[in-house]
Structure 1
Amino acid sequence: MEARSYGDKWFGAVNATLLAFVSLIVLYPLIYVLSASISNPAAVLNGDMWLVPKEITFAGYSKVFENKELLNSYGNTIFYTVLGTAINLVMTVMAAYPMSKRDLKGRNLLMAVMVFTMFFSGGLVPTYMLVKQLGMTNTFWALVIPNSVSVYNIIIMRTFFQSSIPGEIQEAAAIDGCSEMRILRSVVLPLSMPIIAVMILFYSVGHWNAYFNALIYLTAREDYPLQLILREILIQGQMEEMVNAGDSSHAKTLLDQEAVKYAVVVVANLPILLLYPFLQKYFVKGVLIGAIKG
């Protein structure tokens, strides 16, 4: 094995130090929120809890799972995420696959029109009027249809199809009598698992964290997603803390809200944190292939 030079050793040491520092910056908020969710709320409010849990209690989690509104919104978010991601994935594939065909007439014009929408849009008011005229307000369709496709993700997937799926394989399938849909289903998609995993992660995280569309289009609380309920909890806690500052009669309420706040944050982010390790190998491969060969 060839010995490393002095400069290489210093370069490795600096890289390791920087990566360790960045890891601490990323991990500290996660560990803090997790520790705060099982710590005494009074210790958290007083600043006594920095990293390690103090006076461990699961009162916040018990209140979360006793709250039927929170559980209902959690189920809504799961439904919106699964349905929205499925629609996003189908729309992105159906747009990216034709755009990857070099013999498609007018594909440059079509791509220019798509890219144009990334810089200019109708705005919030025209979009709301359109959604209302289509009768999608106060329905789950308002959360999955207006954002059913992302031009940026179409470009990524198109680049993957062009650079990673050999054209000879598709031509051989066409010679064997396969239609374009059969080629897509039996040849292209099985070879595209890395980029599909990337799209699933991108879209699912976007749907899971989305609250603005629900704030605009939904009025029935039973249809609210989890993030909108979490937003209300955070804002309500801040407002009551400012209005009732110094009022001892509200101390217990503030402590309960503090416990619930951190517990809800952990519960809300846990599914995404659990999803990423399973998609990590596909995620890294898909992003690098699209970036290097694009």
Structure 2
Amino acid sequence: MEQPTRLGRAVKATVLVLVVAAVAYPLLGVLGTSIASQSDIIRSTGLVLWPDHPTLDAYRTILTGGVVTRALLVSIGVTVLGTGASLVVTVCMAYGLSRREVTGSRLILMTALFTMLFNAGIIPNFLLVKGIGLYDTYASLVAPTLVSAFNLVVLRAFFMNLPEELYDAARVDGAGDLRILLRLVLPLSKAVIAVVSLFYAVTYWNAFFNALLYLDGSDKWPLPMVLRTYVLQGQSLSSAAAGESLAPEQAVQMAVLVIAVVPILLVYPFLQRYFTKGVLTGAIKG
């Protein structure tokens, strides 16, 4: 491979700096505005990158009770339980579909892949959720998206690439499918399971459409619905958060946005070392 020229390195460095600046500017603006005082916001007439009078009044407002605190707890519960349930179902289904001796596995796989191309639509999904008694329950935030066909295919490809000799040796030792899955397959699949877990967690954490369709009332809203209603649509959040607020409305809205973004930013570094290995699963065979 040819060594890059000085001009090539300079261009790459310039592009990288511009990309980082384009990402960092709005992030710093949101963070700075969330801790800005009313005078800082009025003076800047927009996002505050560096407030002269920083204050945590906006975070006190939204974390001392009210709709934001309740929505945060709902999002955490739905993300944790939903990710766990999706992993259990997806791993078990992928393991079964990876075994060639399972009758009808190809038909089931084709059915799962069919859902990646065609969707029943909003009205049939709504009627189904309501018909099975999940309407206006937290289960409606998990059940319709319990299994992702993409994640299923990724896990199945990884399980099929494991050496068949390992399965044969385990069966010679008297291990059944459940023991093989728990003692053999899962320990060898930490990378891909970490990546799939991140995909599911991000999906559940950011999802608001199911809540918009299936929840009747704001008492069960997850955090993305609060963002949509009070931040994007511009409705007043200070009174809904915790009574009378000392923080400016714009600072409260940006504080909610920070709280919605930070959990994923904190989780990602712990899974980053698995990410590259996991996303390349199935790309190289042999």
TM-score range, shorter-chain basis?
0.7 to 0.9
3-state SS, counterpart of residue 146 of structure 1:
helix
Q: Does 1:56 align with 2:48?
A: no
2:63 aligns to what? 65
Equivalent positions of 1:1-294 (< 5 A) are 7=4, 10-44=7-41, 46-47=44-45, 49=47, 51-163=49-161, 165-237=162-234, 256-293=248-285
Q: 1:215 to 1:7 in 2, by over 3 A?
A: closer
Matches of 1:277 and 1:175, distance apart in 2: 40
Matches of 1:173 and 1:7, distance apart in 2: 50
Larger deviation, residues 57-66 vs 16-25:
16-25
Letter of the structure 2 residue corresponding to residue 270 of structure 1 = V
Larger deviation, residues 230-239 vs 206-215:
230-239
Q: 1:263 to 1:181 in 2, by over 3 A?
A: same
TM-score (normalised: structure 2) = 0.88
Matches of 2:248 and 2:233, distance apart in 1: 12
* Contact 2:195–2:279 (Cα < 8 Å) also in 1: yes
* Contact 2:154–2:282 (Cα < 8 Å) also in 1: yes
Offset of 1:81 from its aligned partner?
0.6
Matches of 1:38 and 1:100, distance apart in 2: 51
* Contact 2:229–2:235 (Cα < 8 Å) also in 1: no
* Contact 2:37–2:55 (Cα < 8 Å) also in 1: yes
1:246 aligns to what? none
Offset of 1:209 from its aligned partner?
0.8
2:241 aligns to what? none
Q: 1:74 to 1:130 in 2, by over 3 A?
A: same
Q: Deviations over 1:261-288 (max 9, x none)?
A: 0011111221111111111111222112
Letter of the structure 1 residue corresponding to residue 260 of structure 2 = A
* Contact 1:61–1:260 (Cα < 8 Å) also in 2: yes
Matches of 2:126 and 2:270, distance apart in 1: 37
Q: 1:91 to 1:6 in 2, by over 3 A?
A: closer
Q: 1:221 to 1:103 in 2, by over 3 A?
A: same
Offset of 1:64 from its aligned partner?
1.1
* Contact 1:233–1:257 (Cα < 8 Å) also in 2: no
Offset of 1:236 from its aligned partner?
4.7
* Contact 2:30–2:48 (Cα < 8 Å) also in 1: no
1:243 aligns to what? none
3-state SS, counterpart of residue 263 of structure 1:
helix
Matches of 1:137 and 1:7, distance apart in 2: 59
Identical positions, percent: 42
- The gaps in structure 2 that reach 5 residues or longer are 238-243
Larger deviation, residues 219-228 vs 9-18:
9-18
Matches of 1:167 and 1:195, distance apart in 2: 19
3-state SS, counterpart of residue 144 of structure 2:
coil
Specify which structure has the higher proportion of helix: 1
3-state SS, counterpart of residue 237 of structure 1:
coil
TM-score (normalised: structure 1) = 0.85
Q: CA RMSD in A?
A: 2.6
2:240 aligns to what? none
* Contact 1:143–1:214 (Cα < 8 Å) also in 2: yes
Q: 1:72 to 1:15 in 2, by over 3 A?
A: same
Offset of 1:8 from its aligned partner?
5.4
Q: Deviations over 1:206-252 (max 9, x none)?
A: 11111111111111322111111222211452699xxxxxxxxxxx9
3-state SS, counterpart of residue 248 of structure 2:
helix
1:244 aligns to what? none
| Matched residue count | 279
